[in-house]
Every structure is written in C-alpha cells, then in structure tokens.
C-alpha cells in the first residue's frame, strides 16, 4: 500500500457534531434578534431534523416563531455554512494518519459538499498538515461529486500512483462512497461508525473490507 484515501464526513469525524455546531450559531442569532430562548430554539431545530430531515429546518423554525422571510432564511443559511465549527476528529484518526505517514504511506481526503464549508471543517479539525492532498470535489464541478470516479482518478494522478491497486479508500456511505473508487479497482474499506449504517453489495469485483475502527485495518 502506497496511499490511503479517506472520506471526511462520518469517516474522520461525526457529521452530526457539525450540524449541532451550526444550529447553535443559528439559535444564538435568532435569540439575539427576536428575543427567543436560545436553548428552546436549538432544541426545536434538533427535533425538526429528527422528524423532517435537513432540508427544511431553517424554514420550519422561522415559521414556528413567526419570522419567516426569504431574507431571514438566507441569513440563517449563511450563518450555518460560514460558521467556525466546533468539531473534533474521532479518537483513532490522528494516531492512524501519523502512523501511515511515518511509514511512508501517502494520505488524501476526498470530500463532497460546498467547498468553503468542507474547508471550514478541515481547518476546524486541524487535519490540513496530516494529509498530502485534500480534494474538494466541488472545485471540480458538482457533476464530479461522488459517486463519480473522477476525483479518485485525480487523487491517483496527484499522488503519482501508477496503479489503483497501490491504494485503499476508507468511507462510510455505501450509497456513494465506493462506486467511483471501486470502478477504478481501488480497495474499498467501509467504516461503520454508526451501527445503523448499511452495508451495500460490492459490484466491481473488488472485495470490500468492513471495519468499525481505523485501528482494525491500519495496524
């Protein structure tokens, strides 16, 4: 193995921590502007995301307090996307990445989502110096988000790997993380941080490894 590629959200840190961090910033703003209890607003947003999913959380909270407008909605979206997140890597991440680098293995992150948001996450996690390259697929164009194979090929190119068999890719989401990587013949490693995470079948002929901790594979 010459390189190890990693997904970011729910692979290197718990994404729900980012969501909660953003909700806290939004609730503080709403509390300050409209004189509502900060904890009440925060808890309401947590309940909304549990029952309705992410798509309409800010719409719903604004309607609930009688303050919905397109301008208020955009303000909340801006605050959420641009806040400095209070997030931390899973406990196994930094020791494993350091061990890989010390053994001469190149490391990379390949992550979807708005590039500025993902960059804020990486900065808050303090991961910049631990990885040789970080590919924000958004900078390639939204059509090259996972499950596209393109960002994986870009990673191989940038790491000067002559064959995909020289690297592995660690992700958590079977719906998109492994389609592009396994299409290139990269060894897939699915990490089950959450026991509810599904295990998708492998269609590429590459036998995927299933782990619950990075220490299980990177000894």
- Residue 163's pLDDT is 86
- Residue 175's pLDDT is 87
Report residue 142 as tokens.
């939204």
CB 188 within 8 A of CB 171: yes
Query: Model pTM?
Result: 0.93
Residues of the chain with pLDDT > 70, as a percent, come to 95
- Residue 197's pLDDT is 65
- Residue 204's pLDDT is 56
Pick out the chain residues at pLDDT < 50.
none
């Amino acid at each position: 193995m010459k390189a190890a590629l990693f997904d970011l959200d729910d692979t290197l840190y718990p994404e729900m921590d980012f969501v909660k961090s953003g909700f806290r910033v939004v609730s503080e703003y709403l509390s300050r502007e409209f004189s509502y209890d900060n904890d009440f607003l925060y808890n309401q947003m947590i309940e909304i995301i549990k029952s309705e999913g992410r798509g309409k959380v800010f719409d719903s909270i604004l309607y609930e307090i009688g303050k919905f407008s397109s301008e208020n909605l955009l303000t909340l979206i801006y605050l959420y996307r641009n806040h400095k997140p209070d997030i931390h890597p899973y406990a196994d991440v930094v020791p494993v990445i350091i061990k890989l680098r010390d053994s001469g293995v190149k490391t990379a992150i390949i992550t979807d989502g708005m590039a500025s948001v993902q960059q804020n996450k990486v900065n808050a996690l303090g991961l910049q110096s631990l990885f040789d390259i970080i590919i924000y697929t958004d900078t390639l164009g939204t059509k090259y988000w996972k499950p596209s194979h393109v960002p994986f090929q870009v990673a191989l190119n940038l790491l000067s790997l002559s064959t995909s068999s020289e690297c592995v890719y660690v992700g958590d989401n079977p719906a998109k993380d492994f389609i592009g990587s396994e299409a290139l013949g990269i060894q897939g490693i699915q990490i089950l941080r959450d026991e509810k995470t599904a295990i998708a079948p492998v269609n590429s002929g590459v036998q995927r490894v299933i782990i619950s901790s990075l220490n299980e594979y990177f000894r």
